Structure 1
Amino acid sequence: MASFKALKGQGDAKTLFAAFLYFDMSFMVWTMLGPLATEIAHSLAAHGEALDQNQIATLLAIPILSGALLRIVLGFFVDKVGPKKTAITSQIIVIASLFYAYGRGESITYNELLLVALGLGFAGASFAVALPQAGQWYPPKLQGVVLGIAGAGNIGVVLDFIFAPKIAELWGWEAVFLAGGILSTVVLIAYIFLAKDAPRSVYTPRPKKLVDYWKLLKDRDSWWFMLFYAVSFGGFVGFANYMKVYLMNTYQAEMATVGASIFHEPNVQVIAGYFGALTIFAGAVLRPVGGGVADKIGGVKSLYIFFGAVAALVALMGVTKLPFFMAIAVLFLIMAALGMANGAVFQLVPQRFGKDIGIMTGLIGAAGGIGGTFLVKTLGWAKESFNSYSVGFFIFAALVLLAIGAISLVKTRWRTTWGAKAGGMI
């Protein structure tokens, strides 16, 4: 990866900064329902609309799924009308959704929340806007550091879990939507003034057509990569969004004790947010580490290691209810392995689909969102059906093992065909 010093005098620093702000704020908003789900459920129950575990899981899953599918839609508009117009339009929809939720407050219904969740999906699709806008300004040799800066916004989910429950405790859960709406508006104004689309002298747009997507979908390797990312990123975003619900349903008494004795914090919702942030932090910051490991030992071997660790640890979570601090440690390791697996997958993708990386990023990203939706819904279904998460954990562990089996099926062919010419470790 190029150094930060290499960026001096290259591209457009204001646009790069604006893209980072836009993506960071968007990722924070996209995952906002996760740390607020239990507070919202309690509020609805107090107003006569009690939610079961399946309904809570659906509420958390909709932003993930809509964000995944909207990545492809926004990718089309980035090519047609440019990143800036696409980003502004998308952000206006997100801001309207946030202020609507705040305005309705405790009077909001579950069906209205589902529409809000759908609107927040536009924030999750920002990946397809911010990264191309930043990357278009810079030469190929600087793409690694540029996309690393613009894409660092996934730390936003950690900030959600740290601050959202405390804001909800002090001023009500609807205040979190107000804060999100105000901050998103400020970021939008800054983005309008700072961001610029790259001129044709720097970047020549090559609009994608539906046939381009269809062509890649007929390539079997596309489906293998989509499976791997559905497991890695799907696992990360699924666990991240559901983490607080899981902790509140499983370790509420333990967290109350820990909160009183260690943090001197009586609100168990806040404590759940802190521990959720700790586990999610591992996956958010270790993605580049996974890419670095893959550069050294190869993406295939890396995925064996990371997926193997995930399968074993998730199965352990399903076998028995672990002591609280042991469960936090295991969840931390699961999220770390998933985050590094994300980096390993994208160490391989450019080597196989270098000429079509834009389209493949959209397709693989959509698959990741679908994987996250599946995980959240599976956990909610398991809790509702069996009053236990064990079956949900076992199903996800089986999916990870399926991915490991798939790696074994393709590794020899990959290494002897395109991998032999790729120039990197496979």
Structure 2
Amino acid sequence: MAGFKALKGQGHTPTLFMAFLYFDMSFMVWTMLGPLSTEISEALALGGHMTTEGEMATLLSLPILAGAFLRILLGFGVDKLGAKLTALLAQSIVIAALLTAYFLGESITYNILLIVAIGLGFAGASFAVALPQAGQWYPPKSQGIVLGIAGAGNIGVVIDFLFAPKIAELWGWSSVFGVGAAMSIVVFVAYAFIVKNAPESVYKARPKKLSDYGKLLKDKDTWWFNLFYAVSFGGFVGFAGYMKVYLMSTYQADMSVFGTEVFNEGNVKVIAGYFGAFTIFAGAVLRPVGGAIADKMGGVKSLYFFFGTVAALAMVNALVSLSFWLAIVILFLIMANLGMANGAVFQLVPQRFGKDIGIMTGIIGAAGGLGGTALIQTLGWSKGAFDGYAAGFMIFAGVVLVAIAGISLVKTRWRTTWGVQSGGII
């Protein structure tokens, strides 16, 4: 709580709130295909297109992949056009994609869905706008908590899992896109009237050239942060996007019984949405907690703990035959630690690259999107090749261990070089 109280009298609270709301809405839209995966697959089958494991993994990962590359573009836009205008332009494209899916409805094809998925990538790229929009208003010592609050908008995926399957059951899966479009329009209007870019007295924009990207990509610290965020955010968004497919493939019978006995709900797809929301919830809401912990004890120590916990739990899930309830607990804890790790990574980034935060948010955010894409594809491959997910979880655990080794390699140098001048705890 001390971290939140420290923000009193600093920055611009309405902009911080709208950055959170914009990212929340965008994240909800960005991951919308995940909780609708079963419904979309059934609708395409009725139209004569039976989706394979690989095709579904491609559809679910495409918004994540598109968002990864578009974050770099929007990061460039933040420095050239300002965060506010960049956000409004991106949101316009997202609304167009949602309306396309809504009006085409049941007649939509798999190929058109792929195009819609690319449009939804602009929602994922909002990360490169929302965080600088908020962070530019606040000093280095508060970046962990500020960017954690703005980044907690990823709770939007929880809203997806709670409501999208039920809306689809009542009115058809395409109606979910209509609801998303209506909500996005409301956020668009509110953002246009409420948000303010930080004045030059607080933050002076330094427009970058393409060559500046190249310069930052030559910095080895950029690649370390790329790795860490590919694991933390990539893990979070990858598991979130694939969660319903995983639960339906592995625990459909357990969820069906529970839904009938407890919720009086016979639609297992809705119950899968509820359990998906539960497992994802912790990672979404604990991002600012991870940032606050990193502000207090340092990002390096925090990442050791968060990543170590994730690696251990992923190995347990891969090697041990778990009951349904124990698996849900394991998934909940994995997502919680990945969410807190997201906050910890971005406690460090502004301290190292404060003058280039717009571009760096785009670059590192892109790495997170690529990590999520790789995880979804890995889980889809694991299911298709071995009819199970053990191999996928083991590969992910191995990548997390590589990230932990990376932290050990850089921690001393970071603390004795830029960490001394950063103004925060490394």
Q: Deviations over 1:195-229 (max 9, x none)?
A: 34445566432111222221121111211111111
Q: Distance in 1 between matches of 2:141 and 2:240?
A: 33
User: Which stretch has the larger CA shift, 65-74 or 293-302?
Assistant: 293-302
Q: 1:241 to 1:348 in 2, by over 3 A?
A: same
Q: Does the residue aligned with 1:162 lie in a helix, a strand or coil?
A: helix
Q: Distance in 2 between matches of 1:134 and 1:55?
A: 37
Q: Does the residue aligned with 1:50 lie in a helix, a strand or coil?
A: coil
Normalising by structure 1, report the TM-score.
0.93
Q: Deviations over 1:57-114 (max 9, x none)?
A: 1111111111121111012222222333322221111111111111111111111101
The aligned counterpart of 2:265 is 265
The aligned counterpart of 1:283 is 283
Question: Does the 8 A contact of 1:230 with 1:370 survive in 2?
Answer: yes
Q: 1:141 to 1:348 in 2, by over 3 A?
A: closer
Q: 1:260 to 1:329 in 2, by over 3 A?
A: same
Q: Distance in 1 between matches of 2:298 and 2:5?
A: 25
Q: CA deviation at 1:316?
A: 1.4
Q: Does the residue aligned with 1:208 lie in a helix, a strand or coil?
A: coil
Question: Does the 8 A contact of 1:4 with 1:145 survive in 2?
Answer: no
Question: Does the 8 A contact of 2:140 with 2:351 survive in 1?
Answer: no
Q: Does the residue aligned with 1:321 lie in a helix, a strand or coil?
A: coil
* Alignment root-mean-square deviation, CA: 2.2
The aligned counterpart of 2:330 is 330
Q: Deviations over 1:153-210 (max 9, x none)?
A: 1111111110001101111111100100111112222223333444556643211122
1:20-419 to 2 correspondences below 5 Å: 20-137=20-137, 146-198=146-198, 200=200, 203-419=203-419
Q: Distance in 1 between matches of 2:138 and 2:332?
A: 35
Q: 1:118 to 1:140 in 2, by over 3 A?
A: same
Unaligned runs of 5+ in 1: none
* % identity of equivalent residues: 70
Amino acid paired to 2:321? K
Q: Deviations over 1:105-133 (max 9, x none)?
A: 11111111010000001011112223333
Q: Distance in 2 between matches of 1:148 and 1:337?
A: 14
Q: Distance in 2 between matches of 1:138 and 1:28?
A: 26
Q: Distance in 2 between matches of 1:20 and 1:395?
A: 33
Q: 1:224 to 1:19 in 2, by over 3 A?
A: closer
Q: 1:197 to 1:304 in 2, by over 3 A?
A: closer
Amino acid paired to 2:83? P
Question: Does the 8 A contact of 1:243 with 1:276 survive in 2?
Answer: yes
Q: Distance in 2 between matches of 1:417 and 1:192?
A: 41
Q: CA deviation at 1:234?
A: 0.5
Amino acid paired to 1:307? F
Question: Does the 8 A contact of 2:144 with 2:343 survive in 1?
Answer: no
Question: Does the 8 A contact of 2:294 with 2:344 survive in 1?
Answer: yes
Q: Distance in 2 between matches of 1:89 and 1:339?
A: 28
Normalising by structure 2, report the TM-score.
0.93
Q: Distance in 2 between matches of 1:228 and 1:104?
A: 40
Q: 1:405 to 1:151 in 2, by over 3 A?
A: closer
Q: Deviations over 1:280-330 (max 9, x none)?
A: 011111122223333344322322222121111111111243110000000
Question: Does the 8 A contact of 2:54 with 2:381 survive in 1?
Answer: yes
Q: Distance in 2 between matches of 1:12 and 1:297?
A: 26
Question: Does the 8 A contact of 2:54 with 2:380 survive in 1?
Answer: yes
Q: 1:60 to 1:190 in 2, by over 3 A?
A: same
Q: Does the residue aligned with 1:353 lie in a helix, a strand or coil?
A: helix
Q: CA deviation at 1:423?
A: 4.8
Q: How many residues align?
A: 425
Question: Does the 8 A contact of 2:238 with 2:375 survive in 1?
Answer: yes
Q: Distance in 1 between matches of 2:382 and 2:340?
A: 27
Q: Does the residue aligned with 2:204 lie in a helix, a strand or coil?
A: coil
Unaligned runs of 5+ in 2: none
Question: Does the 8 A contact of 1:155 with 1:285 survive in 2?
Answer: yes
User: Which stretch has the larger CA shift, 25-34 or 13-22?
Assistant: 13-22
Amino acid paired to 2:281? F
Q: Does the residue aligned with 2:36 lie in a helix, a strand or coil?
A: helix
Q: 1:316 to 1:5 in 2, by over 3 A?
A: closer
Question: Does the 8 A contact of 1:382 with 1:389 survive in 2?
Answer: yes
Q: CA deviation at 1:390?
A: 1.1
User: Which stretch has the larger CA shift, 270-279 or 308-317?
Assistant: 308-317
